[in-house]
Structure 1
Amino acid sequence: MKIQRIEEITVCVGLSILILLVFTAATLRWFGIDMSWSVDFAQLTFSWVCFIGADLAMRHKRHMGVDILVNRFSLPVRNAIYLFNSILIMFFLVFITYYGANLSIINFQRTFNTLPISYSFVTISAPIGCLLMLYTNTKRLVEYISNIIKHDYRGIIQEDKEGGETI
């Protein structure tokens, strides 16, 4: 729960900074004042907000999904579909984590045009966000496997009643 709270604060602060920065830069540009560094800083902030926000969406089961067909199946079949999807997601997240970390290492020497920091601060947001999503997805995998072992699918019924999107 601590991780989720830190993520929520990070996303709220990051999104607020992003909105204020872009609005201020656009307003000042209208008056002829240049804030060219704002584009680079906005890119940095946006990357972190996106990847950490993606984990928050996954934690709350609010990712977009089409479940018209899946909801027609029995609960054990639905659970199996969710389990299969979670395994596919896990492989994708591992792939992105590995190659994103490599990309961050490669970009270590590269700096922003207007900021004196490494571009790796942008590229490292992908593997860190994917690691957070891997943690969330692993908890979900354990839940789906536990449903199969216990033959108890009440968690899936509860998701449907709450209106939560499934992954």
Structure 2
Amino acid sequence: MRGLYRILCGAEAFVAGSFLLLMVVLIFLGGVARMLGMPLNWTTDLATCLFAWGCFLAADVAWRSNSMMSIDVLVDRLPARLRVGIRLLNHALIIAFLLYLIVAGFYLAWVSRIRTFQGMPGVSYSWVTASLPSCALLLLVTTIRHIRAAWRGEQVASRAVDVV
């Protein structure tokens, strides 16, 4: 099971990096094409979709490797048991928010399935809105792993993740 999770994490990091890189390439291509008098409007639309997916996936990659920004000046001065308690409370609040995002996000994806994405016929807006609940589900798994590590007294590994 750990091997499968490790493969999923690597694939997630690769897809997030690829989407963000492809987004930049599409924006650049659209700008060059517009400068040459042959605008490619679909590049901006596709880049918007890739941006949504790439950012949410990258958030999970950062959360998993404990690379999110945090301000621990006050908490670091507290006793160890209180620090763990505050960390668990913080994770509980994160879980509540992620559960809300999952439920509301899947509802939004369902409701927006009829709407076309940026006027492109045949492409549903749900492809973009599904990024929120899907990645919130991945963030929920990561948060549960953080809680399990905190409960056991372990520290989540803080390491850089190779994306591409």
Q: TM-score, normalised by structure 1?
A: 0.86
Partner residue, 1:6: 11
Identity over aligned residues, as a percent? 30
What amino acid maps onto 1:52 in structure 2? L
Q: Does 1:92 align with 2:97?
A: yes
What amino acid maps onto 2:144 in structure 1? T
- Structure 1 unaligned runs (5+)? 148-154
Indicate which of 109, 123, 126 corresponds to 2:129: 123
Partner residue, 1:15: 20
1:109/1:163 CA distance change after superposition, 3 Å? closer
- What displacement does 1:46 show? 0.5
Q: Does 1:26 align with 2:35?
A: no
Indicate which of 128, 132, 137 corresponds to 2:138: 132
What CA deviation, in whole Å up to 9, does each residue of 1:75-116 have, x standing for no partner? Answer: 211111111100000000000000000000001111121363
Indicate which of 54, 78, 86 corresponds to 2:59: 54
**Contact 1:40/1:114 (8 A) holds in 2:** no
Partner residue, 1:82: 87
Query: Could you list the runs of 4 or more consecutive aligned residues of structure 1 that deviate by over 4 angstroms after TM superposition?
Result: none
Q: How many residues are aligned here?
A: 154
RMSD (Å) for aligned C-alpha atoms: 1.8
**Contact 2:66/2:159 (8 A) holds in 1:** no
Q: Does 1:145 align with 2:145?
A: no
What amino acid maps onto 2:128 in structure 1? V
- Structure 2 unaligned runs (5+)? 1-5
**Contact 1:37/1:115 (8 A) holds in 2:** no
In 1, Cα distance between equivalents of 2:106 and 2:159: 35
